[in-house]
Structure 1
Amino acid sequence: MRVQLSEVNLDVEVSGEGPAVLLLHGFPDSHVLWRHQVPVLNAAGFRTVAPTLRGFGGSDRPEGGPAAYHPGKHIGDLLELLASLDVDRFHLVGHDWGSGIAQGLASVVPDRVRSLSLLSVGHLASILSAGWEQRQRSWYMLLFQLPGVAEEWLARDDHAGLREMLAGHPDAEAAIEPLRAPGALTAALNIYRSGLPAEVQFGAAPPVVPLPDSIPVMGVWSTGDPFLTERSMSGTHAHVLGRWRYERLEDTGHWLPLERPEAVGDLLLSFLKEA
C-alpha cells in the first residue's frame, strides 16, 4: 500500500492483528527484506508494519540532496506513519541502516517502544570504538561519501561494483533493479552521506546516547558478516541501560532475514514474547 505523508509517499506492507512490530530495512533493500518474518509474526499474533524507507524501492525520492535523507527525516516519516495507522506502542526491529534508525526512534519516543531488536548493526559508539579491523571493513562508507565517484564505481559495467558488494545477498539482482532508475542510486547513498559523514567516522567521536533503560534490547550478529565485526555488536551492551540479550548466528552473512529466515523468526518471536 502507498501511504501519503507530509513530505513523501512510502510503500508500506501492513498485515496481521495484535501488538505492532515495526520492521526497518537497510541499504539497498526494501520492505521485501522481511517477507519471511512477516507471516511468522502474523501467525503468532502480531501486527507487522514494514515500510520501504524514503529513497529506496518504491518509496519517494525527495529532492534536496543528503539533507533530505538525514536519519531524523526517516524518524519523522516513521512517527507520521505510525500516527496514520493509529499505532501507539510497538516493538522495533531493524537491520543494517534500519537498526540505526530504530535506535534513533527508540531514543526519541522511549515510552512507546516495547522492545528493540538490532540485526547486524549495533550502537554507533560501539562500531566506532571496535578497532582497526572494523575500520578496514568500513572502507566502503568513505567511498559512499564521494558524490559521483561512488555512483560511477558502483554502476560501472552493469553495476559490477555493487554486485561485488552484494555477493552474499540472496536477492542481489532484485535489490539492484530499482537502483537503475535515474537518481535512485544517489538517493540510496544519501543515507550514508547524511548519517555517517567522514567527520563522524574518523573525526571526533559524537556524543554517546545510551539506549533507554525502559527498553529491552537484543543484538544479533553473524560470523560471516563481511562488513561488521563481532565487537561492533557485542560492545553495544555498554550503551544499553536496560536489559541486553546477545545472539550469535554461525556461518551466516550480512543479510540475516534472508539467509537464515527461520532462525531470525524464532529469535524475534522468543524476544518479543519475552519483552
Structure 2
Amino acid sequence: MKPIADRHVLIQNCRIAHGIRGEGAPVVLIHGTPSSSLIWRNVIPALVAGGYKVHVFDLLGYGLSERPWAPDIDTSVSGQVPILEALMEHWGLADCHLIAHDIGGGVAQQFCLKAADRVRSLTLIDVVSFDSWPSQRTQEQMQAGLDALIAAPAEEHRAHFREWLLSTVENKDRFKATSLDTFLDLLSNPVGQASLFQHQVRHYDPKHTSEAGRHLGKLAGLPVQIIWGENDNWQVVDWAYKLKSAIPGAELHVLPDCGHFAMEDQPEEIGKLLRSFLDRCAPASSGRIAALG
C-alpha cells in the first residue's frame, strides 16, 4: 500500500516519516497503536476537498518512522508530545486543527493542555483517556507475560496479531481486503516484532492520560468533537460519555456498525463529520486564538 508519510525529517536525532496533502487551513492527524498514518488514508481526501492542508506523521517507533535501538529513547504517549511540537515547527504551523485516534488522543490531550493557543479545534476518535487503557484483553496478555509473544516464531506472532487487529473492526471482510496485511507487515517483520513490544506495548500505561484527565475542564472554549464506534471493544463507548462530561461544550457522535478502528469501518461518515465540524468551528476558534494571543 502506497505510504502517506512519504517525507522524512530528523527530530531529536530520530527520523520521522511525515506527509502533507492539500492546501488551506492546517490540520494535523495523529494515529494510534498498533497502526500508522495509513489509517487516515480514506479520510484525507474529504479534508483536502474541503479546503484543508493535511499533515500526517508516523509516531516515533511506529510505521515508517525510525524504530530506535536505544531503550532510553521515549516512545510513550508523553514522549511523543515533543515530537509533535518539533514537527509543527518544521511545518511552520503556529496553530492547527488537531485530530487524533487511540493513543494519539493521549498525545493530543497533553499538547492541548500545554499549548491550547496553538489548537484551533480538537477531534478525539476512539481515544485513550483517564485510566481507560490498556484494554482488558491487553492487560491479560501483559499479566501473562510478554516474553512468549516476543520470542514467538514469526508465523505464530503474525497469526496472533492478525486476530488481534481483526477485533478492531466490524467490517472484517473489507479490512482483510484492504489494509490488514499492511498493518501486519509493520508489526510482524523481523524489526516490527521486537519494535512492537519495545516501542508500543511496554508503554501502555494510563499514567500518561490520568493527569491530563484531571484537567480536561481547562479546555472550555476550545471547540471539541468526540467520535466513537458504538461497537468499540478496545475503548468501550462509556469512555466517550466520560470525556464529553469532562470537556465543557464537547459534542459527541456515536457511530453504529463501527469498531475501534473507526476510520476503517466508517471513513465516509467520519470525513463528513470532520468537514462539518471544522467548517463550523473555524470562525470561533480564530477569535479564541486572537484573544489568547
TM superposition score normalised by structure 2: 0.80
Q: Which of 169, 185, 193 is the matching residue for 2:202?
A: 193
Q: Which of 253, 276, 290 is the matching residue for 1:270?
A: 276
Q: Tell me whether 1:178 sits opposite 2:186 in the alignment.
A: yes
2:19 counterpart letter in structure 1: E
1:10 counterpart letter in structure 2: I
2:243 counterpart letter in structure 1: T
2:137 counterpart letter in structure 1: W
CA distance in 1, matches of 2:107, 2:29: 11
1:93 counterpart letter in structure 2: I
Q: Contact 2:43 / 2:270 at 8 angstroms: preserved in 1?
A: yes
1:17 counterpart letter in structure 2: E
CA distance in 1, matches of 2:160, 2:109: 30
Q: How many residues align?
A: 261
Aligned to 2:136: 138
CA distance in 1, matches of 2:91, 2:139: 34
Q: Which of 230, 238, 241 is the matching residue for 1:234?
A: 241
Q: Tell me whether 1:213 sits opposite 2:220 in the alignment.
A: yes
CA distance in 1, matches of 2:224, 2:236: 19
CA distance in 1, matches of 2:141, 2:70: 21
CA distance in 2, matches of 1:104, 1:161: 32
| Paired residue secondary structure (1:92) | strand
Q: Tell me whether 1:223 sits opposite 2:230 in the alignment.
A: yes
Q: Kindly report which structure 2 residues correspond to 1:140-179, keeping only aligned pairs within 5 A, or say none.
A: 140-141=138-139, 143-144=141-142, 146-152=145-151, 157-167=156-166, 168=169, 170=175, 171-179=179-187
- Cα deviation code 1:206-249 (max 9, x no counterpart): 57221522322111111221212211111112321x42100010
Aligned to 1:28: 34
Note closer, same or farther for the CA distance 1:215–1:186 as it changes in structure 2 (3 Å cut).
farther
CA distance in 1, matches of 2:258, 2:181: 19
| Paired residue secondary structure (1:68) | coil
Gapped runs of 5+ residues in structure 2? 1-6, 282-293
2:165 counterpart letter in structure 1: L
Q: Tell me whether 1:59 sits opposite 2:43 in the alignment.
A: no
| Paired residue secondary structure (2:190) | coil
CA distance in 1, matches of 2:193, 2:221: 38
Q: CA deviation at 1:120?
A: 0.9
| Paired residue secondary structure (2:232) | coil
CA distance in 2, matches of 1:188, 1:108: 28
Aligned to 2:22: 16
CA distance in 1, matches of 2:109, 2:147: 30
Q: Tell me whether 1:243 sits opposite 2:249 in the alignment.
A: yes
2:192 counterpart letter in structure 1: A
Gapped runs of 5+ residues in structure 1? 129-134
1:96 counterpart letter in structure 2: D
TM superposition score normalised by structure 1: 0.85
Note closer, same or farther for the CA distance 1:223–1:24 as it changes in structure 2 (3 Å cut).
same
Q: CA deviation at 1:195?
A: 4.7
Identity among equivalent positions (%) equals 25
- Cα deviation code 1:49-88 (max 9, x no counterpart): 0101111111001133375212222111111011011011
Note closer, same or farther for the CA distance 1:246–1:67 as it changes in structure 2 (3 Å cut).
same
2:180 counterpart letter in structure 1: A
| Paired residue secondary structure (1:262) | helix
